């Protein structure tokens, strides 16, 4: 069903629905991820690459196409190392609040606090939550 929709009908919506709601196997996810990548649908390509257990490829794609939010939001179980990678990306883009949140989740409160401070007074509650 997925292959027919992608290859014969150029229809992405049905496979996305199937993957998200009925059958999220890595083989099907990889088919959809490859389809999305070929067509430049980066958000979906990142999401389905993660579902296909291709986290490293998804991370590289997310970096290259500014889809790190999608990458971070799609990861359900994330190691501290992965959180640090995401935080490093945001820090490099001067997105202090997003970097701080990732460092906080990576159990690096000192680095998170420094970045919350850089992000400004609007995030005082987040700063205080670390203490």
* Same domain as 104, residue 61: no
- Is 64 in the same domain as 82? no
How many residues belong to the chain?
131
What pLDDT tens digit does each residue of the chain (131 aa) get?
899 989 889 999 999 999 989 888 999 999 999 999 999 999 999 999 999 999 999 999 999 999 999 999 999 889 999 999 999 999 999 999 999 999 999 999 999 999 999 998 888 888 888 76
User: Which of 70, 87, 107 delimits the end of a domain?
Assistant: 70
Same domain, 87 and 66: no
Residues 6+ apart with CB under 8 A from 88: 99
Do 53 and 83 belong together in one domain? no
- 64 plus 84 within the same structural domain: no
pTM across the whole model: 0.87
Do 55 and 16 share a domain, yes or no?
A: yes
Place of tokens 């401070």: 117
- Claim to verify: residue 52 and residue 4 sit in the same structural domain: yes
pLDDT of residue 77: 87
Residues 8 and 52 in one domain: yes
Containing domain of residue 29, as a range? Answer: 1-70
Q: Are residues 6 and 53 in the same domain?
A: yes
**What is the Cα–Cα distance from 26 to 37, expressed in whole angstroms?**
16
The reply to whether 54 and 89 lie within a common domain is no
pLDDT at 123: 83
- In the numeric block, which tokens belong to residue 45? 């390509």
Domain total in the chain:
2
Residues 64 and 88 in one domain: no
CA-atom Rg of the chain in angstroms: 17
Farthest CA pair distance, the chain: 57
Last residue in a domain, options 70, 92, 110: 70
Three-class DSSP category at 106: coil
18 and 54 together in one domain: yes
């Amino acid at each position: 069903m997925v292959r027919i929709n992608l290859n014969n009908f150029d229809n992405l919506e049905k496979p996305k629905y199937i993957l998200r709601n009925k059958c999220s196997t890595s083989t099907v996810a990889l088919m959809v991820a490859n389809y999305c990548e070929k067509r430049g649908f980066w958000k979906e390509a990142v999401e389905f690459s993660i579902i296909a257990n291709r986290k490293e490829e998804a991370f590289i794609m997310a970096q290259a196409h500014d889809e790190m939010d999608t990458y971070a939001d799609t990861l359900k179980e994330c190691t501290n190392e992965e959180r640090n990678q995401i935080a490093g990306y945001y820090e490099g883009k001067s997105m202090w609040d997003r970097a701080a949140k990732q460092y906080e989740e990576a159990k690096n409160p000192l680095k998170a606090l420094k970045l919350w401070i850089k992000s400004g007074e609007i995030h005082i509650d987040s700063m205080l939550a670390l203490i």
